[in-house]
Amino acid sequence: MATKLSMLIEFIPNYVYYTQLAVDPEPREGLIYFCIDKKLQYNNFYLDFGPLSLGCTFQFCNVMNKMLASAVQTKRKIYFYSSPDPKLRANAVCLLGCWGVLFQGMAPEVAFTPFASMAFPSFHDASPVECKYRLDIIDCLKGVAKAVQSGYVHPPTFDVHDYHHYEQVENGDLTWISPKFLAFAGPHDKYSVSPEGYVALTPEHYIPYFKKKHVTLVVRLNEKMYDERRFTRAGIAHLNLYYPDGTNPPEYILKQFIDACEATSGAVAVHCKAGLGRTGTCIGAYMMKHHFFTAKEAIGWLRLCRPGSVIGPQQQYMDVIQPKMWQAGGKHDNRGILEKALPGVIASMFTLRAPEATPPPSPRSPGHTKPPLPKTSAVSSQKDKAGTQGDNLVRLKQTYQHHYVR
């Protein structure tokens, strides 16, 4: 019996169509049916369900490129389908739209127009609490387009194998957001493997890769869990910019972060506990200033690169600072002038030698002139030593990676 289609949306005239099916269809002459629901899956932390990672996105794109070439040659049509489940539909359509932007030269609006009449759930952040912040498919597509335009990714040369290798916790849990920024989970003082198989890496595990990739600065946003001299002795500058897990960066910390990154000629590796919330927020601010991403475009791209990035109130925070970042970016046209103005500031911030390796004084300590951190800092400080949001995210990531063979 022929499969009955409740809907059929044309994506590329005469060749690529999208539909939703509750059951797998029977083969039909002249058609190529294709579904990724069981092949490319999103591994959620909490209530998040997508978008699928950049690695999965490029896996899909590579298959679609081959299928389209075959369909053109054999005069067949591609029916890409998903389950009617709203979340699976959203991920499937987002993948198809990303392929259109990355490999078919489509503008984000053009890629999404065929699906404009359909209802999709907004993508949720990696938290267990219902979130009202809306991040939609079109935001992710615009983020992809802006990333390509800004030179963050070159579709023909993207290395899917490298992406999937280094996203594994035991291989570093690191992700390139752009040629300038590498996000990773925070290293520990000692290497360990728990009875459950959870891995904790040290600075020495990262140094060879960082040197190979010309990482010249490491920024730590969480509490100290290793001696920064282990990086600086290897010739990699280190900057401590702690603020509490799950919160937004105080203005002076965000300024120091951006100033340091602007004055660094090489790549910058940024981490907090899990390399998701604080890390994504600070990198996102830089993206808005330098390449004029909207907050939603930045969050969309960050979550494609590193699922789970930017959590809870950090989403609204990025919306709030977007105009300020754009204004600052408009005034930041001459990198040479900036680099001449900042060396003194940057030199005072980097922990480059042993005498400077002691932790900076607490923001609440006498004689400290920086503005105090939010009042929750004392509580957050205690949580950082126990089970914080970042700890839980790292644990969850390792748990699903142990049960998922790509």
What the block records as the tokens of 170 is: 């035991």
272 is catalytic: yes
Catalytic pick among 35, 94, 98, 272: 272
CA distance 323 to 166: 34
- The pair phi, psi for residue 112, each rounded to 5°, is -95, -20
Mapping DSSP onto H, E and C, the string for the chain reads: CCCCCCCCEEEECCCEEEEECCCCCCCCCCEEEECCCCCCCCCCCCCCCCCCCHHHHHHHHHHHHHHHHHHHHHCCEEEEEECCCHHHHHHHHHHHHHHHHHHCCCCHHHHHHHHCCCCCCCECCCCCCCCCCCECHHHHHHHHHHHHHCCCCCHHHCCHHHHHHHHCHHHCCEEECCCCEEEEECCCCCCEECCCCCEECCHHHHHHHHHHCCEEEEEECCCCCCCCHHHHCCCCEEEECCCCCCCCCCHHHHHHHHHHHHCCCCEEEEEECCCCHHHHHHHHHHHHHHHCCCHHHHHHHHHHHCCCCCCCHHHHHHHHHHHHHHHHHHCCCCHHHHHHHCHHHHHHHCCCCHHHCCCCCCCCCCCCCCCCCCCCHHHHHHHHHCCCHHHHHHHHHHHHHHCCCC
Strand order in the sheet with 77-82: 9-12, 16-20, 77-82, 31-34
- The string of DSSP letters for 238-262 reads EEE----TTSPPPHHHHHHHHHHHH
Residues 318, 281: contact at Cβ < 8 Å? yes
- Per 3-state DSSP, the chain is made up of helix, strand and coil in percentages (nearest 5) of 45, 10, 45
First to last CA, the chain: 34
Active site residues: 272
